[in-house]
Structure 1
Amino acid sequence: MKTKILTLAMLSLALISCDDFLTRDPKDTVKDTPSFWNSEYGIRISVLDYYTTYFPGYRSGWTRADNFAETNVADWNDDNAQNKATFFTTVAPTTTTATSDWNFTRVHGLNLLIERISGNTMEDEPKNHWLGVVRFLRAMEYAGLVSKFGDVPYYDTTVGSADYKQLYRARDPRATVMDKVLDDLKFATTHIRVTDGTAGLVINRDVANAFASRIMLFEGTWQKYREKNNDLAKKYLKEAMDFAKTIMDENKYTLCDNYKALTTSVDLAGNPEIIMYRSYVEGVVTHSLMAFQNTEKEESSPSRSFVDAFLTKNGLPIHQVGNTEFKGDTWYFDEITNRDPRLTDNIDATGLQLPGVAGVSAASGYFANRFVNESLKNQAGGRSNTCITDAPVMKYNEVLMNYIEAAAELAGLNAYTLTQADFDKTINVIRDRKSTSMPHLTLTGSNLSVGGVVINDPDRDDDVSSILWEIRRERRTELAYEGLRFNDLRRWSKLQYADMNLNPKLNKGAWLDKDRYVAWYNETNKAAIAAGTMKAITLENLESLNLDRSGNAGYIVPITKAALLRVYADKDYLYPIPLDQITLYKSRGYELKQNPGW
C-alpha cells in the first residue's frame, strides 16, 4: 500500500479568536493558542499545508506541471519545437491576482509560524527542528522571488496592516536578500532532523541540503553571468558545492538501475536515488502528466536542438570530426542508432509520429515519452487526469550535477582546483547507471576526453569552456524535461537559446524524406493494411508538414511565419512587477521601481 502523506488533503491553518465560545469549532481550522503551538502535531499540520506549493511534483488533476511542456517554465527554453510558439511576457500585467508571482502572502504566513514556534515552550531540539523547517520554506520562497524579480522587499517579521512604512518598504538589494536566504538554509541544514517521518515524503535534513545546493548554484551562476560579480559568485558557488558534498559524503543514496523508472514508477518508495517524491494514489490524488504523452497530440515536442545534444555511445558529440558512430540524421532509425540510451528514454524509438499519419502525433515528428509507463498506457492509471505514477521532487543525480557544475565554475574563477576525482564521483557515477552505461569522462588539462579522444564539439559556444559545455550537456540530458532548463538558461545568461530566430534548431524537428517514409510505412504495415485494420498512406497524408527546403526531403519546420517565432529581449531575464502594485505604492507616498525594460 502506497504511503499517502503527501497525497492526503492538507489541513489549512486559520487563526481564530480565543474569545469565541459556546460554538463548535470547524474541523478544518485551529485556534491560535499556546497549547496548539506547543504541540508538534499542531505545527506539523500547519507546515504540511505548504508542501504542494513548494513540492508540487506532477501537480494534480488537469493542472499542468512544469515537466515537459505546456507551462511557461516548461516551454520557454530550447527543448521543444512548437506548432504555436509560447511567447515571453510582452507587457507588464496591470493587476495582481491571488496567484501572481509578486505576492508576499506566503512570506507573512511563514513569518507568523516562525514567531509562534519561537514563542512556544518546547525543548530546544523540537523547537529548532520546526524553526529549521519553516526557515527552509522561507528560504525557498525568497529564492523564488529573487529568481523572478531580482531585488525584493525582505520581511523577517509579520507586519501589521496599518504599518505602511514596512508594508511599502523599498526593494532590498538582491545580494542582501540572498544572504538572508543563505542564513535560513544554514540554520535549516543544521537543525532539521535527519529523520522525521517517512523518508522521501517529508522535509528532512537531506531534502534541505539538496534544495540548498540548487538554490545556491542558481545564485552563484547568476552572479557570475548576469551580475558580473565574481566575489559573490564564488561565495554562493562554494555553498552550493558544500551543501551537495554533505549529502554525497553520507553515502546514503545511490543511483537506481533504470533511468526511466525515475519518472514512470507507480511507487517510488525505497528507490535508492530518491531524496523526495510526491506520492499519487488512485482515488486520493492523481495527475494528468502521463496522459499528455500518451493520449494527446504533442503540440510541443522534442526539437532538433534537444535531440542533437545527446552523444553517441562512444561519448563523443555527434558532429565531432571523426565520430563514425553517428550514422547521420536523414533517416530516423539511423539517427537513434549508437546514441546515449537516455535519448530513447525520452523519445519514442518505434518511429516518427507524424501529423496526418499518427492519431497521436508530435509537432516535430519526435514523440516524447519520458513520463509514459507502458504497462499503464491503456489503463485509468495512465490516462486522463487519473494517472498514478509517482513524481520525483528531488533526486541524487541532481545533487551530483549541482556539485560538479559548482566545482567547475569555481575552478574557472580560480577558486578551486578541479580534479579527476570530482568527475569520478559525479558524472562518471551517473554514466555507470546500468540503463545508461556511457563512457567515463577523463580530465585532460583544460579539456575532457573519452577513450583517449579529446572532446571537441564544433557546436560549442565560443564563450563557454569545453569542460563547462560538457557538464551542461550532461545536465540537460540527465535532467531532461524536469522543469529545470528555463532557469538554467537564465542563470547562464543563455536565454538566446530560447529565441527561435537566434537558435534555428529550436524550430526544427526530424529530417523527413516523404517518399522514403511513405514506402517504409506501407511496407512495415502491409499485413495490417491487407487485413483492412490500417490504411495505406500517400504523399497527401504528409502535405501539412512543412520542410526547411524545397522538395520532399528536409527538416520538419512547425512554424513558417517569422512573426510567429518566439524572440527574447534582455528584459526577459526578470519578470515584470504588476502595474497596480506600483500604483498602490505611489498612492501611499512610496515608490516601487519597475524592473529594467518593462
Structure 2
Amino acid sequence: MKKTLIISLIAASAMATTSCSDFLDRLPMTEPNNETYLSTENQVRSYINGLYMAIPTFNQYGLGVRAEEKNSDNILAEQYDERLNGEFTNFSGASDWSTGYQNLRDVNYFFHYYTVSEDEENDNLRSLRGEAHFLRAYWHFYLLKRFGNIPLMDAFWDENATIEGLQIPQKPRNEVAKFILQDLTTAKGLLHGRSEYKGLRINKEAAMILAMNVALYEGSWEKYHANDAFAAQTNESEYFFNQVITWGDELFQAGITLNTKDTDPFGATTPADAFAHMFNQKDYSNVPEAVFWKKYSMAEGVYNSVVPSLAGGIVDTDGAAGLSKSLVDNYLNADGTFINPTDAKYKDFNVMFENRDPRLTETVMSTGHKFRSATITRPMCVKEFIQDATTDEEKQSNAEILSPYLNGDGNGRNLTGFHTALGVDTTYTRDSFWDTGLVIFRYSEALLAYAEAAEELKKCDDTVLEKTLKLLRERAGVTYVKPNDMGKDPHFSDFGYELTPNMQEIRRERRSELALQGFRLDDLMRWKGEKLIVNQRGRGAYLGHDGVLYKSFNTSDTETANALGRLLTDVNGWLDPLQGRLPNGYQFHADRDYLMPISPDELALNKQLKQNPNW
C-alpha cells in the first residue's frame, strides 16, 4: 500500500498554465462522475495525490531549483533573468497568476465536493483534508510573493465561471498572510506527523515550517517596504515576527533535528558530509531534517537528469552560466572568522576554497570534487599546465588537470569558473538519468526564520543563537563565534541600511545554508535588496595570466588560447561575463519590479482588480 502511495506521489510533473478565464472554464484534473465522488478514503487520497503534481520538483529534464537562482545574485547566466533587468512587460505575470489560481481552484474543488462528515472521518481522512488546507495556503503564498494584494480564493468560485462570479476585489496583503496562517493552523490540527509517512506526504511539521516562512516573509516585507509604493495598508510587521516565534516554539517540541555527522544514516565521516547528504541521497525516510521530500526511483521509471547535468558541469540548462563570486565570498573561514575578498591570495583559485566553511566546497566545485562524470569519473583539478612537458611525471601531472569548463560550448560552458557541486551524488558514474531525492521542506529553514524574527524583535540573545545559528554552523563544521564578538564585517553585502552584527550573520548564514535552493530572490525582495541588483552584474573567478586558473589551460593549443581570449574580464582580471549583455548592470526598476504586473487580460476580466504600482 505504502509503495503504491509513494510511486503515485513521485510520478509528478508541472501542470500547464492558461489564462484565468480559460482555466475556470475547464473541468478539474479528476472529473467526478457524481457528487458522491469524494466520499471514500481511496477517492479522497487519489484526488489529493493529483494535487501534489503541481508542487515544483525535479522534472525528467532540466535542473529545477538548482538553476532557479539565476533570478538573483547567486548565478550569472547568459539567459539572464528579465525581471532583474527591468524587461518585464504588462503581460509578464500572466503565467504566474494563472498557475496560482488554477491550483487554488483545484484545491477548492476538493473542499466543494468533499462529502465525508466529521463523524465519519478517520485519522487518515482528516490528514488528507489537512493536506488540502496546506496546499491552499501554499498557493496563496505563491501568489502573495509575486503580486502582493490578491483576491482570496477561499471557496470554489462560481463553478459556472460567469463574468459576474469573477468580480472579486483584492484583499490587503497582510489579510492574505493572516488567511494563509489560519489555513495552516487548521492543517496543523488535522495532519499526521512526519513519522507517519517518513516525510513523503505533507505533514504537521511541514505546515509549521511553511507558516514560519510566510510570517517571516510578510513581517520583513512590511518592515523594509514601509515607506515605498509597496507598503502594506497597515504595518503589522511586529505581529508577523511574533508569529514566527510562536510557530517555532511549537515546532521545537516536535522532535525534529538537524542531520549531523553523528546522526547521519548515510555514513558521514565529516560535518561537510552531513550537510551534503541533504542534497545527494536517494532516500530521506530516516532523516528527520528532511521534513517533506520527494522520492525518485530508477526501478519504477521515475527519475531526473539533475545529477548527470550537474556532474557534467551544467549550471543552467538554458545556456552558459556560472555561480557568482559574490556567493563564494559570502562563506566564512572554517574558524568562524571573516574573509577579506580583496586579499590578493584569493586570485589563486585553489586558495579561495582553502580552510573555508565546508558548505562552500559542497556547494561550489573545487579541486578534488567529482566532476564531468557523464563521460569519465575524475575530480576537478586546477593546477599549472606544464607547456613543454617531457618527463613522465610532467605528463602525468598534465593528465590530471580538469579545469572549469571556461572553454566549453553550449550550456556546458561555464561563465565564472564556479560550477555547481550541491546535489552531485559522488556514487554516480555514467547514466543519463538518476534518482536522487529532493528535499522540499527542511528543518534548517525554521532555525533561520526563528533567528531572523527574534533579531527583528530585538530578542535574539545568546540562547536563541545557540539553538539556531550555532547549531547550523557546527553541523557544517564551522567554529561558532558569537556575532557580537566578531563585530561587523566591512566586506559584507551592503543593503543600503544598517545591520546589527547578529542580523549580518543571520543573513550570511541564510545565504550559505540555503544557496541554490530557491530562496535568494524572495529574500532580496522582502529585504528591499535593490542595492545588490541595480547597476550590478556580478563577477567570477580571477583569470589574470598570472593566476593558476588561467595557467591550468594548455594555451599552446590555438583553439584553447582563442577560447580563453574571448572571455571577458574586468580591469583587475576577474571574470566579468555579462559586461557585453549588461554594460550598466541590471536595470531593475526599484519603483516597480518588486511586484509582478497583473495581466491586462485579468484586469479586463475582473473589474475589481487594481494594477500593481507603476505598471
Residue 395 in 1 paired to residue 406 in 2?
A: no
Residue 579 in 1 paired to residue 600 in 2?
A: yes
Residue 424 in 1 paired to residue 475 in 2?
A: no
Task: Please report how far the alpha carbon of residue 354 of structure 1 lies from its aligned counterpart in structure 2 after TM superposition.
Answer: 4.5
Equivalent of 1:273 in 289, 304, 308: 289
Q: Is the 8 A contact 1:85 1:565 kept in 2?
A: no
Task: Please report how far the alpha carbon of residue 197 of structure 1 lies from its aligned counterpart in structure 2 after TM superposition.
Answer: 4.4
Q: Is the 8 A contact 1:96 1:580 kept in 2?
A: no
Residue 492 in 1 paired to residue 493 in 2?
A: no
Q: Is the 8 A contact 2:543 2:575 kept in 1?
A: yes
Q: Is the 8 A contact 2:340 2:491 kept in 1?
A: yes
Q: Is the 8 A contact 2:279 2:437 kept in 1?
A: yes
Q: What residue in structure 1 maps to residue 168 of structure 2?
A: 169
Q: What residue in structure 1 maps to residue 568 of structure 2?
A: 546
Q: Deviations over 1:522-557 (max 9, x none)?
A: 7xx9xxx9xxxx9798744521122211xxx61011
In 2, Cα distance between the equivalents of 1:103 and 1:7? 21
Residue 46 in 1 paired to residue 47 in 2?
A: yes
In the superposition, the TM-score normalised over structure 2's length comes to 0.79
Q: Deviations over 1:408-466 (max 9, x none)?
A: 1122xxxxx22211111111111222xx2111132xxxx522xxx43433435342222
Secondary structure of the corresponding residue to residue 573 of structure 2: strand
Q: Is the 8 A contact 1:220 1:232 kept in 2?
A: yes
Q: Is the 8 A contact 2:297 2:435 kept in 1?
A: yes
Q: Is the 8 A contact 1:263 1:370 kept in 2?
A: yes
Which runs of 5 or more structure 1 residues have no equivalent in the other structure? 13-26, 412-416
In 2, Cα distance between the equivalents of 1:209 and 1:403? 12
Query: Alpha carbons of 1:290 and 1:538: their partners in 2 closer, same or farther (altered >3 Å)?
Result: closer
Query: Alpha carbons of 1:509 and 1:277: their partners in 2 closer, same or farther (altered >3 Å)?
Result: same
Q: What residue in structure 1 maps to residue 492 of structure 2?
A: 459
Secondary structure of the corresponding residue to residue 592 of structure 1: coil
Residue 259 in 1 paired to residue 275 in 2?
A: yes
In 1, Cα distance between the equivalents of 2:352 and 2:216? 34
Q: How does 1:52-451 map to 2 (within 5 A)?
A: 52-54=53-55, 56-58=56-58, 60-65=59-64, 67-69=65-67, 71=68, 74-88=69-83, 90-94=87-91, 100-101=97-98, 103-117=100-114, 120=117, 122-123=119-120, 126=123, 128-160=126-158, 161=160, 164-194=163-193, 197-227=196-226, 232-257=236-261, 258-282=274-298, 283-298=300-315, 299-319=320-340, 328-350=345-367, 351=382, 352-356=403-407, 360-376=412-428, 378-380=429-431, 383=432, 386-411=433-458, 417-433=459-475, 436-442=476-482, 448-449=484-485
Q: What residue in structure 1 maps to residue 609 of structure 2?
A: 592
In the superposition, the TM-score normalised over structure 1's length comes to 0.81
Q: Is the 8 A contact 1:256 1:271 kept in 2?
A: no
| Percent of paired sites with the same residue | 23
Query: Alpha carbons of 1:130 and 1:516: their partners in 2 closer, same or farther (altered >3 Å)?
Result: closer
Task: Please report how far the alpha carbon of residue 364 of structure 1 lies from its aligned counterpart in structure 2 after TM superposition.
Answer: 0.5
Equivalent of 1:470 in 474, 498, 505: 505
Q: Deviations over 1:325-381 (max 9, x none)?
A: x773111112211211111111111135142279954200112221211221x322x
RMSD: 3.1
Q: Is the 8 A contact 1:213 1:399 kept in 2?
A: yes
Secondary structure of the corresponding residue to residue 292 of structure 2: strand
Task: Please report how far the alpha carbon of residue 475 of structure 1 lies from its aligned counterpart in structure 2 after TM superposition.
Answer: 0.6
Q: How does 1:498-517 map to 2 (within 5 A)?
A: 498-499=533-534, 501=535, 503=536, 506-517=537-548
Q: Is the 8 A contact 1:37 1:120 kept in 2?
A: no
Query: Alpha carbons of 1:39 and 1:297: their partners in 2 closer, same or farther (altered >3 Å)?
Result: closer
In 1, Cα distance between the equivalents of 2:115 and 2:185? 17
In 1, Cα distance between the equivalents of 2:98 and 2:163? 21
Q: Is the 8 A contact 1:431 1:440 kept in 2?
A: yes
Task: Please report how far the alpha carbon of residue 245 of structure 1 lies from its aligned counterpart in structure 2 after TM superposition.
Answer: 2.6
Q: Is the 8 A contact 1:280 1:388 kept in 2?
A: yes
Letter in 2 for 1:312: N
Query: Alpha carbons of 1:476 and 1:448: their partners in 2 closer, same or farther (altered >3 Å)?
Result: same
Which has the higher mean CA deviation after the structures are superposed, 86-95 or 239-248?
86-95
Equivalent of 1:555 in 552, 568, 574: 574
In 2, Cα distance between the equivalents of 1:76 and 1:519? 28
